[in-house]
């Protein structure tokens, strides 16, 4: 490839980035926190409350939100994960596929202790298969699946909060 062609491609990509950045284009993680939610803090209760709250906090940090002690509060209550066997090997009788379900309630409370978003249920499901040929991989696989479940739950919570009528930003 010639040097001139490389420079043209570089300038094309740079120009495209400038154009997209100038028109307000954001990647999926850039969900822009509305002013009313700036400084949003996150707390969680229940067996999975801490993990889910951490996942939400990470998503908020990626978007530039820094929790403040006097900011509004995203409260996650009664978070837990249930697991159900959904298929069993007919030959060995060993469970082959599982369904993990994340259950929780979440609400947003203002710094003046007024409810900004009523309590809403959260239900996220994820299935995964067990490979009986590699039983040691199950713990690692389960940890990975739990992390993915928390990330999906965090994104769903933030999507629902940011798209609720009280917080939705007006597009100019």
pLDDT of the residue at 94: 77
pLDDT of the residue at 25: 46
Burial class (CB in 10 A: 0-12, 13-18, 19+), 7: exposed
pLDDT of the residue at 103: 96
pTM, 2 dp: 0.74
- Shared domain for 47 and 4, answered yes or no, is no
Q: What residues in the chain have per-residue pLDDT under 70? A: 1, 10, 12-31, 130-138, 168-172
Percent composition of the chain: helix, strand, coil (DSSP 3-state, to 5): 35, 30, 35
167 in a structural domain = no
- Shared domain for 108 and 151, answered yes or no, is yes
42 in a structural domain = yes
pLDDT of the residue at 102: 95
- Shared domain for 98 and 136, answered yes or no, is yes
| Mean pLDDT of the residues in the chain | 82
37 in a structural domain = yes
Q: Which domain holds residue 21?
A: 1-29
- Write the CATH number for 106: 3.30.160.150
The count of structural domains within the chain is: 2
pLDDT of the residue at 131: 64
């Amino acid at each position: 490839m010639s040097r001139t062609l490389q420079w043209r491609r570089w300038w094309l990509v740079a120009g495209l980035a400038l154009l997209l950045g100038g028109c307000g284009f954001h990647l999926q993680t850039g969900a822009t926190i509305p002013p009313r939610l700036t400084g949003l803090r996150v707390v969680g209760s229940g067996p999975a409350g801490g993990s889910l709250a951490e996942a939400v906090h990470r998503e908020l940090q990626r978007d530039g939100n820094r929790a403040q002690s006097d900011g509004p509060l995203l409260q996650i209550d009664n978070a837990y994960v249930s697991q159900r066997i959904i298929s069993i090997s007919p030959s060995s009788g060993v469970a082959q596929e599982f369904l993990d379900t994340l259950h929780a309630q979440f609400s947003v409370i203002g710094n003046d202790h007024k409810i900004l978003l009523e309590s809403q249920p959260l239900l996220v499901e994820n299935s995964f298969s067990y490979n009986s040929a590699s039983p040691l991989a199950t713990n690692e696989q389960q940890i990975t699946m739990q992390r993915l479940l928390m990330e999906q739950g965090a994104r769903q919570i933030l999507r629902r909060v940011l798209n609720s009528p009280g917080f939705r930003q007006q597009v100019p």
